[in-house]
Amino acid sequence: MSVLAALQVLLCVGFPALALAAAERNRLAKAVGPVVLCYGAGLVLANVPGVTLVGRASLTVAEAAVPLAIPLLLFSTDVRKWAGLARGALVSFALACGSAVVAAAVVSLAFRARVEEWWQVAGMLVGVYVGGTANMSAIGLALGTRSETFVLLNAADVVCGGAYLLFLLSLAPRVLSRFLRPFTAEAHHEAFQHPGEKLSAWTRAHVKPMAAGFALAAAIVGLSAGGSLVLLGRLEPGAVLLSITTLALAASFSARVRRLDGTFELGEYVLLAFCVAVGSLADVRQLGGGSAVLLGFVAATLVLASLLHFSLCRLFRIDLDTAVISSTAAIFGPPFIGPVAAALKNRLLVGPGLTMGLAGLALGTYVGLGTAYGLRALFGG
């Protein structure tokens, strides 16, 4: 490995610590968020005049981060609590997931002639709009999506997702109150609690459980890769990632695994390293002219999925707050439940929202790959 490649890897792994520290101490950094800071740092690095990065180094970090992050994020999940959600929350979350599948399928067919990897993009968008970035990345790896498409899709998702999050934090309650009924506290309860992501929460007491969680995650990745080699004779990304997700969920049934403090935060940290790596692949001097088309693809999918979800919530008489929280859980995942609940002035839905977000993380890879392969089988690709 060259000196430049080693420095790139160190930056990808080390910068998230700076981003988390900045988000704790600086209002502007907190408002922007660690994810955007890490992605932006990678973008800046990729486009420094006169500097040519080692693409293989960043790609290796990105490809390694996703398989490790998924089990770390899932270890703290208590699958049995999914059934403990109120009926309205379960229905609304199911409607959000179904809306993402329908929207991605419809929009992908409309863009089929303009986007070569249309069915792969549809699957990746279902992954991110059911469970989050980790799922989109896993699906992209499993489907063999080109790195150029992957980078552009991430950038488009940051832009469109940021606009939608701003809507949820500001105008959504006023706009949606015109046709969704108000929230009532009956039949809602906190099904899950999580301390959240803070670098200051990482203490000496977390070192051993984090190390144990990381070792278990690495073992699951190794077992899944080995199983693919033995059963299929080759490393099949789709089979490996589905195996990782399944084994991580199986491990989460152990109370001892769920009590490993800090595994969720460690998983988030690994994803931040992924964001730096992906951002550093986005050299605007080398990217083609497909960015506007993919931006339209992502925007159309997100708008259609959201409109369909909220329309179905009205049909099923889901209240406004539950509809907004379930949309947040599906599209953004656990880290954004707190801010949106605060904007709604409704703390009662923080627990159910976190539970839905973790359920989406667990289901996103399955649903996204199913959508992609289904579209290819039905319409070719």
Using CA atoms, how far apart are residues 125 and 105, in angstroms rounded to an integer? 10
Mean pLDDT of 10-33: 86
Domain boundaries, the chain: 3-379
Give yes or no for residue 121 having a pLDDT over 60.
Answer: yes
Residue 202 near residue 262, CB atoms below 8 Å: yes
Answer whether residue 347 shows pLDDT above 80.
Answer: no
Q: How far apart are the first and last CA of the chain?
A: 37
Query: pLDDT grade, residue 188 (50/70/90)?
Result: very low
Do 218 and 195 meet the contact criterion of CB atoms below 8 Å apart?
Answer: no
pLDDT at 5: 84
Other Cβ atoms closer than 10 A to 48: 10
What is the pTM for the complete model shown?
Answer: 0.71
* DSSP labels, 237-290: HHHHHHHHHHHHHHHHTSHHHHT-TTHHHHHHHHHHHHHHHHHTT--TTT--TT
State which of 201-205, 292-296, 326-330 shows the largest mean pLDDT.
Answer: 326-330
pLDDT greater than 60 at residue 194: no
Determine the pLDDT at residue 297.
95
Q: Alpha helix locations (H) across 115-196?
A: 118-130, 133-142, 147-169, 172-176
| Nearby residues of 122 by Cβ (< 8 Å), 6 or more positions away | 104, 105, 107, 108, 301, 371, 372, 375
**Cα 111 from Cα 105, distance rounded (Å):** 10
Give CA–CA dist 213/260, Å, rounded: 7
CA dist 185 and 325 (Å) reads 14
Whether 308 has a pLDDT exceeding 50, the answer reads yes
C-alpha to C-alpha distance for 316 and 328, rounded to whole angstroms: 18
Tell me which amino acid residue 209 is.
Answer: P
Phi-psi region of 317 (alpha: psi -120 to 50; beta: other; left: phi over 0): left
Q: What is the mean pLDDT of residues 129-142?
A: 85
List the structure tokens of 208.
């051993």
Q: With 90 as the cut, is the pLDDT of residue 307 above it?
A: yes
pLDDT band at 100 (very low <50, low <70, confident <90, very high): very high
Confidence of residue 170 (pLDDT cuts 50, 70, 90): confident
pLDDT, averaged across the chain: 83
Pairwise CA distance, residues 271 & 54, whole Å: 20
- DSSP secondary structure code for residue 182 in this structure: P
